[in-house]
Amino acid sequence: MQNRWTAFALRRGTRLIISLWVLVSAAFLMIHLVPGDPVRAMLGPTAAPALVDQTRENLGLNDPLWEQYLRFLRGLFTGDLGTSITMGLPVSEVLAARLPNTLTLGLLGFVLAICLALPVGATIAVATRKGRRRGLELSFASTSVVVATIPDFLLGVALVAIFGVTLELLPVAWTGGAESYVLPVIALAAGPAAVLSRIVRVELLSTLDEDFVRTARAKRLSSRRIVLRHALPNAVTAALTLGGLMLGTLVASTVLVENVFAWPGLGSTVVGAILGRDYPLVQAIVLVYGTGVLLVNTLVDVVLALLDPRSTIGDQ
């Protein structure tokens, strides 16, 4: 068993390192794949040739490619990610200021999605078991599909229009206070919560038909204990897998939501950086988002291995 865990850690660690290397290399090559001269594209067609030459020199683009690559890797390890062209600040400083806001938003959205999906999915599963309450089942199915298919930025705009502009209950944009988190977090969490609650319902319905749940009924345990102690822990593996993968995409969704709510995070920064052709900053933010998704996927694998060793590491 010890060997299986070691093999799992080695397998997963190797996969993470290779994925990170591919990500870093893709981010490095990004600046070289821009059609034409990236510096000219960055500074615009009217920029003075001297400024273009100076910027190219500052970015090290005159050096051989392998030297640039090594310098880029060294910069990653030392925290030197270059200087933002549009802001005139070190990229690491920009990241340090913006990343916490994006992480807080993404994590709160994830926590809300899980906190909504588990009880809602479980309650609907228990209430609609064996074809009971068809009306409730139909309402849940249609509502969850509608909520899951609304793009989060559109939901964000709708929330702003209703709660910010019409009812004036909550701020329409970032104010720094706790109340400014409410609408963006709901906009981020609603779609994933709808999808997850459907999965929780289906998985729980299937688990409630398992033999060990029948055994629990034979013990005359309370329905609450049967669902919470026996059925739900065995049903959440699929929901957690998808939930974990959604955390990665949820962080990426912050790009659009942050722009709707003028949120001072990486999402709004990357849009400005792309429009301003601020390549060093775009490179760094792409790296941060990509690394975030890879780390989340690895974390999900580890959690699943701990929860269900049989299916993940082949432990018998």
Partner 1 sequence: MTELRIEKLTVRYGRGPSVHTAADEVSLTVPASQTLGLVGESGSGKSTVARAAAGLVSADSGTIKLGGKPLPRRGLRPVQMIFQDPRSSLDPRMSIGESIAECLPSRFSRSARRSEISRLLDMVHLDPTRRGARPPELSGGQLQRVAIARVLAARPAVVVADEITSALDVSVQGAVLNLVRELQTELGLSLLFISHNLAVVRYVASQVAVMRTGRILEAGPADQVFHRPQHSYTRQLLDAVPDTLRSTP
Span between the terminal Cα atoms of the chain, in Å: 8
Could you say which residues in the range 79-138 bind partner 1, by CB under 8 A?
none
Residues 6+ apart with CB under 8 A from 206: 235
CB of 197 to partner 1, least distance (A): 22
Element containing residue 279 per DSSP (H, E): helix 279-307
Could you say which residues in the range 37-56 bind partner 1, by CB under 8 A?
none
- Identify the residue among 2, 46, 78, 316 touching partner 1 (CB under 8 A): 316
- Residue with smaller CB distance to partner 1, 134 or 310: 310
- Identify the residue among 78, 219, 224, 275 touching partner 1 (CB under 8 A): 219
**Do residues 117 and 200 make contact, with C-beta atoms less than 8 angstroms apart?**
yes
- Residue with smaller CB distance to partner 1, 168 or 211: 211
Could you say which residues in the range 220-279 bind partner 1, by CB under 8 A?
220-221, 230, 233-234
Binding window for partner 1 (CB under 8 A); candidates: 68-76, 103-111, 147-155, 219-227: 219-227
Element containing residue 114 per DSSP (H, E): helix 91-127
**Do residues 118 and 200 make contact, with C-beta atoms less than 8 angstroms apart?**
yes
Lay out the site mask for partner 1 across 181-210 (x = CB under 8 A, - = otherwise).
Answer: -----------------------------x
CA–CA distances in Å: residue 157 to residues 7, 52, 173, 183, 232:
48, 40, 11, 10, 35
- Residue with smaller CB distance to partner 1, 104 or 234: 234
Element containing residue 12 per DSSP (H, E): helix 2-33
Question: What 8-state DSSP symbol labels residue 263?
Answer: -
**Total number of residues that touch partner 1 (CB under 8 A):** 17
- Residue with smaller CB distance to partner 1, 107 or 221: 221
Instruction: Give the tokens for residue 113.
Output: 């999605």
- Residue with smaller CB distance to partner 1, 49 or 131: 131
Identity at 177, one-letter amino acid code: G
**Do residues 65 and 32 make contact, with C-beta atoms less than 8 angstroms apart?**
yes
- Residue with smaller CB distance to partner 1, 60 or 233: 233
2 binds partner 1 (CB under 8 A): no
Identity at 149, one-letter amino acid code: T
- Whole-number Å distance between alpha carbons of 244 and 303: 9
Q: What are the contacts of 29-36 at 24+ separation with CB within 8 A? A: 30/279, 30/282, 30/283, 30/286, 31/59, 31/61, 31/279, 31/283, 32/65, 34/279
CB of 232 to partner 1, least distance (A): 10
CB of 61 to partner 1, least distance (A): 57
- Residue with smaller CB distance to partner 1, 74 or 214: 214
- Residue with smaller CB distance to partner 1, 11 or 217: 217
- Identify the residue among 62, 154, 212, 228 touching partner 1 (CB under 8 A): 212
CB of 238 to partner 1, least distance (A): 15
Lay out the site mask for partner 1 across 132-171 (x = CB under 8 A, - = otherwise).
Answer: ----------------------------------------
Question: What 8-state DSSP symbol labels residue 278?
Answer: -
Closest CA to 258 of 280, 214, 289, 283: 289
Give the footprint of partner 1 on this chain (CB under 8 A). 210-212, 214-221, 230, 233-234, 310, 315-316
